[in-house]
Structure 1
Amino acid sequence: MSYTVFDWQKSAWELSRAALARGAHALLFAGARGCGKRELALALAAAYLCDAPQPDGRACNQCESCRWLAAGSHPDFALVEPAAEDDDAEPKTRPAPKRSNAITVDQVRGLSDLMSITAHRDAGKAIVVHPAEALNVAASNALLKSLEEPPPRTVFLLVSHRPALLLPTVRSRCQLVPVRIDDPAPARAWLAANAECDDPELVLALAGGAPLAAVSIAEDPVWSRRAGFLRALAAPDADPVRIADLYRDLPPAQVLSWLQTWTFDLVQIRFCGRARYHRDMEPIAAGVAQLLEPIEATRLHRSLLALQRHVNHPLNARLFVEHMLIAYRQALAHNAIPV
């Protein structure tokens, strides 16, 4: 289990420590995916349970409590995440279990034993929920009861990439801890030391400035096809149906992500003269941006955001991708080749 507090998280670390010192019983770590919120929450839980914290407040990693956490057997700690989905197939034929997208009400109710008994150590108890937006409605309501009437000396640490998706009543019971990267220098330095990539600046930009997400990009071979996909999309004679066929093996979520960031860059270049994500494609994007009708581009970007709720389970993945690409082409100005 990781207890890392990254250099870019110093302000969030101090804010969360101060909140617990004032008696806060629930914190909500909110920020972009890939900036280390889960690691920060685990580090805070470890420090809260530690018998002899370091001067900077971090866990000592040597006491009995820290050893229990490292072994995954601490009786006063729980990490609630989407569970692996399994079936009743025979062991020899059973495929690897898939991770669910939801935290269920049974998982939350399973915390009752932990919350109903006295803490084994003097520090108290810590519960980390990640990602909090994965709580379904029943699970959110079950957790809400504990947040409204928290057990003594128990802290809830919720981690969320999209806090707006949480029930308002859950958000209101938590103190918000924003986790953001105000200074990109520590993120760039960490990425250069932890990922094998020729251009850390570009990879970090593609990840929206999130270093942990940038590591995943650097290690994922799918991203080697990004430039080819965008060049095909930017061609004057681009055919959405043909592009969908050429890249039919790409996950729809990946296509949607590239299309969203590409569209954002086109609007950004049109008004600010600078791409945010695909900086290596800026010369090509500048030409396409001149064909862009700003109002239509904004509508397209909003429609792509709305598709996020369906992207992981489309009825027909191929048609889903074709629909996105056709909508993109239709958002171009009148001198673009019609589709």
Structure 2
Amino acid sequence: MTHSFYPWLAPSWKQLVRGWERLPHALLITGEPGIGKRRLAEFLAQYLLCEARKPDHTPCGECDGCRWFLAGNHPDFRLLTPEDQSDAGEGEEAKTKRKLPLIKVEGIRELVDFVNLTPHRGGSKVVLVEPAEAMNTSAANAFLKMLEEPPQGVTFILVSHHWRRLLPTIRSRCRVFPVPTPAAAVAADWLAGHGVVNPVQHLAHTGGAPLAALDDARAEWLPLRTAFLGHIANPAALDVLGVAAELEKAKLDTGLVVDWLQKWVHDLIALGLSGRIRYYPDWRDDLARLASRAGNLLGFLDGLKESRRLAHHPLNQRLVFESLLFGYLEALRGKPRGTGHG
């Protein structure tokens, strides 16, 4: 952990700590993946546990509370994350895994014991849940009971990339704090400072999220994405079975490939209907060749959204890729078949 944060988070921090004495017992931090929400949440947690806060409303970084927090062993802090992401940092928040990571009810039960104990330092207790939408149904219901009768002196900080997936009853008991995607110039400058050669392009690929763009620039699968986009850019020669086999052999996450296809279809539709491209400006010429068929893809795009929700389920991966690619081809021909995985 660190007591610093990304430069674009400064306005959000000022807004957050304005009147911090009146912070709610439960805060829901929302926004796009890859913009630093977890870092902001950690900074707030450290601030609440700091024993010598600075006049500018930042944690001192030097007191016992800060040192323990930064070392990851503060006795009055708990971080709850999916079981197979317990070591993931903010830079990984946009990454996906083959198996759906979940926060299970056992973790919530351990929290119940934690929040009802007297604070070790006699001050605040802080619970950080990230991403909150990873709670399964049993965990979410158990967590809701804690929010309904919050223990005194405990602050719950929830971070969510898809907050609408949370139970409405959980959302209603939190103050929602949206974090905006940073301005493109600010994000590009930060990426350039981290050695990214073409920050504007990588920001486009990730919808403007700088941490996701940094991952994008460093990803080992960049040649695989380029090859995949080359295949779908030339539908007349697309070998569905061969491409699906290549993707499966590469052991790529299903959700990652769905994301590539979803962004491609989004750009095709946007270019055809409004002349704009969001994600793949470096593929403009290829998109333009297909844009006249954009109207055929509207139903397919809706199906892709459902496919993305199902991407972590233990389905036969090659069949999923085949179904998606056949669906793409048929949608381009004006014969939508959906994106089912049967």
Q: TM-score, normalised by structure 2?
A: 0.88
The answer to whether the Cα contact below 8 Å between 1:148 and 1:173 also exists between their aligned partners in 2 is: yes
| 1:266 to 2:264 alignment | no
Cα 1:20–1:103 change in 2 (3 A) is: farther
Amino acid at match of 1:282: R
CA contact (8 A) 1:274 1:282 kept: no
- The yes-or-no answer on 1:284 pairing with 2:286 is yes
Cα distance in structure 2, aligned partners of 1:273 and 1:318: 34
| Equivalent residue, structure 1, for 2:226 | 227
Structure 1 unpaired stretches of 5+: 86-97
Residues in 2 aligned to 1:14 and 1:242: alpha-carbon distance in whole angstroms: 52
CA distance in 2, matches of 1:234, 1:242: 15
Match of 1:94 in 2: none
CA distance in 1, matches of 2:300, 2:63: 54
Confirm or deny that 1:257 pairs with 2:255: no
Query: Are 1:15 and 2:3 counterparts?
Result: no
Report the AA paired with residue 12 of structure 2: A
Distance 1:244 1:306 in 2: 19
Equivalent residue, structure 2, for 1:166: 166
Asked if the contact 2:31/2:181 (under 8 Å) is kept, the reply is: no
- Deviation, structure 1 residue 205: 1.0
Structure 2 match to 1:316? 316
Task: Give identity over the alignment, percent.
Answer: 39
Report the CA distance between 1:227 and its aligned residue: 2.0
In 2, are the aligned partners of 1:9 and 1:181 still within 8 Å (CA)?
A: no
Give CA-to-partner distance per residue, 1:287-315, whole Å, 9 cap, x none: 111233x1x31211110110122212342
Report deviation, 1:185. Answer: 1.9
What corresponds to 1:82 in structure 2? 82
Contact 2:3 2:70 in 1 (8 A): no
CA contact (8 A) 2:203 2:209 kept: yes
Instruction: Tell me the equivalent position of 2:307.
Output: 307
Residues 49 and 287 from structure 1, CA distance in 2 versus in 1: closer, same or farther, beyond 3 angstroms?
same
- For 1:291, what is the secondary structure of its paired residue? helix
Going from structure 1 to structure 2, the CA distance change for 1:248 and 1:136 (only over 3 Å counts) comes to closer
Q: Check whether the contact 1:16–1:27 (CA below 8 A) recurs between aligned residues.
A: no
Distance 1:305 1:100, change over 3 A: closer
Contact 1:206 1:278 (C-alpha < 8 Å) held by counterparts: yes
- Structure-1 separation of matches of 2:278 and 2:272: 12
| Separation (CA, whole Å) in 2 of partners of 1:334 and 1:114 | 57
After superposing on structure 2, the runs of 4+ consecutive aligned residues of structure 1 that deviate more than 4 Å are none
Contact 2:269 2:291 in 1 (8 A): yes
Aligned partners of 2:197, 2:53: CA distance in 1, in Å? Answer: 39
- Number of equivalent positions: 320
Deviations 1:73-122 (A, max 9, x none): 2111110111249xxxxxxxxxxxx9861111111110123211222235
SS at match of 2:55: coil
The match for 1:59 is: 59
State the match for 1:130 in structure 2: 130
Over the aligned positions, Cα root-mean-square deviation in angstroms equals: 2.0
Report the Cα distance in structure 1 between the residues aligned to 2:241 and 2:19, rounded to whole angstroms.
53
Q: 1: CA distance between counterparts of 2:55 and 2:245?
A: 58
TM-score relative to the length of structure 1: 0.89
Of 245-254 and 63-72, deviating more is 245-254
| Residue type at the aligned position of 1:226 | R
Distance in 1 (CA, whole Å) between partners of 2:141 and 2:200 is 42
